A and B are shown apart, each in its own frame.
Chain A
Amino acid sequence: MRPGPFRAALLVAPLVLMVLAGSVAPLGALLWRAVAETEVAPALPRTLRALRLWDGRGLPDDAAFEALAADLAALQAAGPEGAAALERAADRLGADVPSLREALPGTAARAPATITSRATSVLVADPVWGEAESWAALRRAAPPVSGFHLLSAFGLRQGTEGGLEDTEGGPHDRARLARGIGGAALAVLAGLPLAWALARLIAEASSRRAALLAGLALLSLLAGETGRAAGVSLLLGQGLAAALAALLLGAVPLIALPVALSLRRAGPRLPRAAAALGARPGRVLLRVGLPLARRGLALGCALAFAQALGSELLPAAPGAANALGAAAGVGQWGEAGATAFWLLLPSVLAALLLLRWGRRA
């Protein structure tokens, strides 16, 4: 009565293709943005070409100044499109050296009014071009692929001497990332005993009651992230405790349901036999209950960790997911992609480790 292997594969193929097109491909595009340098090269092509000849010591020669003036003049002449490209380049360079965010459009506006050579006009328009660091930032944005956004999302930047140093908001960025990961881990750890109790309640109930209990348990998951946060803040107000409680509410059903299914599948006979043979409840839990539910525990914890990691915490104590949402909201895809990478890394690692642990059952 079963379809053959070929027909079975054909039946699964549409969903697999949809996940690949709707989830894997957009994720790949987002992660590509984390390493792709797409902002500066289109705006300042001559400057980046001239900087290829610069050895990075002192200031570049006049040709680079001349090229920058020519690029800025071309952008000014290109109208709104040029202004948009200039803004994107200024944003990217400003994320590396903050003074360049104002300096680049400022130079573009002031340089043409200076009655001097084009190269000197750049220096007159903004003294920031007299510093080697500004030119080094331009050179760092030149290759098609770089680790700038990945480092920046982790609060680090490449220094002028090649080593890594903190960015202006570096400790804050890392604290935000740690808060997201720590909050998710805490929600899973705190949720485990609660989910275990709930799973046993569901697993040991009659079929109809089990379905009803599971449905009720699922309700907080179905209410959605916003619903959970709103409900919790109504009871606990705004604060870190409320944020953690909202994460916990999402995590408990995700852990409890796979565990309940595992326990129900295993049946009550083995724990009962262990207890009848004189094992204490703690020993029955450790030696029989947990191994029986291992697969469900692994899947539940992996799901709950990934979902909690991607939940936005309260604005008062934002996590990395808040930063990702904010960056995506304003179209800063380099920053969004890099933040996604740092969020994805722990969730993929956790999923691999947990699912491997679950398979050893």
Chain B
Amino acid sequence: MAVLLALLVPVAALPLLEMAGGGSIGGLPAAAAASLLATVLGTAAGTGLRAGFPGRGMAAVITLLPWLLPPAISAAALALLAGEEGIAPVAGVIVAEALLGAPVVALVVWLALGRADPALARAAAACGAPPGLAARRFLRPVLLRAAGCGAALAFALSAGSGMAGAGSLMAAAAALALAVLFRPAARG
């Protein structure tokens, strides 16, 4: 608990600073666009990664790559690309933030789908329900909840320092999103 408090004190001190109110490039609209992009791509990727295919390990590492690169390198690389290709800075920021948000959404969806109870699918099949109907009834709610929570986390991540003043909002968004991960696993 002491560790958690030590983590929170400097963040809690932020609203005292005037600069905490200053947003990053593009501000909230850019963060919203980035989290939307991250949610769409991350949900699809999480569903695919959960299902499995040859080369899944490599795909998972590539998906995680933006987090494994030091941020200064990613920023410089995108600045070079933006300068060479004439991309607007806001577009560059949206892509950079979406690249960080999408793996988080994919991870949330992947883990949430992993917790869906396989016994339900078997029971549906035993009752004669077609696989499509079973998927709609059992998987879609899990997927939608996971995607929504991933989107909240991606948005909180994108909003970054610009939203630091509204810390409690971000903590709530993060807690909501993480609830999917920490729910007790369904029994098979």
Residues of chain A having any CB pair with chain B under 8 Å: 1-16, 18-20, 22-27, 29-30, 33, 194-195, 197-198, 201-202, 207-208, 210-220, 222-228, 230-232, 234-235, 245-246, 249, 252-253, 261, 264, 302-303, 306-307, 309-312, 321, 324-325, 327-328, 331, 333, 336, 340, 343-344, 347, 351
Contact = CB atoms under 8 A, between A and B. Distances in A.
B77 A8 contact: no
Among B49, B68, B73, find the residue whose CB has the most chain A CB atoms closer than 10 A.
Answer: B73
Given A194-B3, A219-B170, A15 B8 contact: no
Nearest to A327: B76
A220 B77 contact: no
B50 interface: yes
B33 interface: no
Given A18-B98, A198-B3, A328 B80 contact: yes
B44 A223 contact: no
Contact of B164 (A5, A224, A331): A224
B158 to A, nearest CB: 9
Given A19-B62, A249-B10, A222 B69 contact: no
B182 A210 contact: yes
B82 to A, nearest CB: 9
A183 to B, nearest CB: 12
A325 B73 contact: no
Interface in B7-30: 7-14, 16-17, 19-20, 24
Contacts of A16: 45, 59, 62-63
Given A9-B48, A215-B174, A328-B79, A306 B69 contact: yes
Given A214-B175, A230-B20, A219 B51 contact: no
Interface string B42-60: 1011011111111110010
A220 B10 contact: yes
B interface bracket (residues with beta carbon within 8 Å of A): 35 or more
B1 A309 contact: no
Given A197-B3, A261-B181, A1 B75 contact: no
Given A12-B44, A19-B66, 18 more contacts: A3-B47, A8-B53, A10-B48, A23-B74, A24-B65, A27-B73, A29-B80, A195-B3, A202-B182, A208-B179, A220-B7, A220-B8, A224-B24, A231-B11, A231-B17, A252-B7, A303-B67, A311-B70
Given A10-B48, A15-B45, A23-B77, A201 B99 contact: no
Contacts of A224: 24, 160-162, 164
Contacts of B159: 222
A231 B170 CA distance: 16
A14 B44 contact: yes
Contacts of B73: 27, 30, 310, 324, 340, 343-344
Contact of B53 (A6, A201, A310, A324): A6
A1 B45 contact: no
Nearest to A302: B68
A213 B4 contact: yes
Given A15-B41, A26-B77, A219 B69 contact: no
B150 to A, nearest CB: 12
Contacts of A235: 9-10, 13
Contacts of A343: 70, 72-73
Nearest to B67: A303
Contact of A25 (B63, B81, B176): B81
Contacts of B139: 1
B178 A23 contact: no
A133 B146 CA distance: 64
A353 B42 CA distance: 27
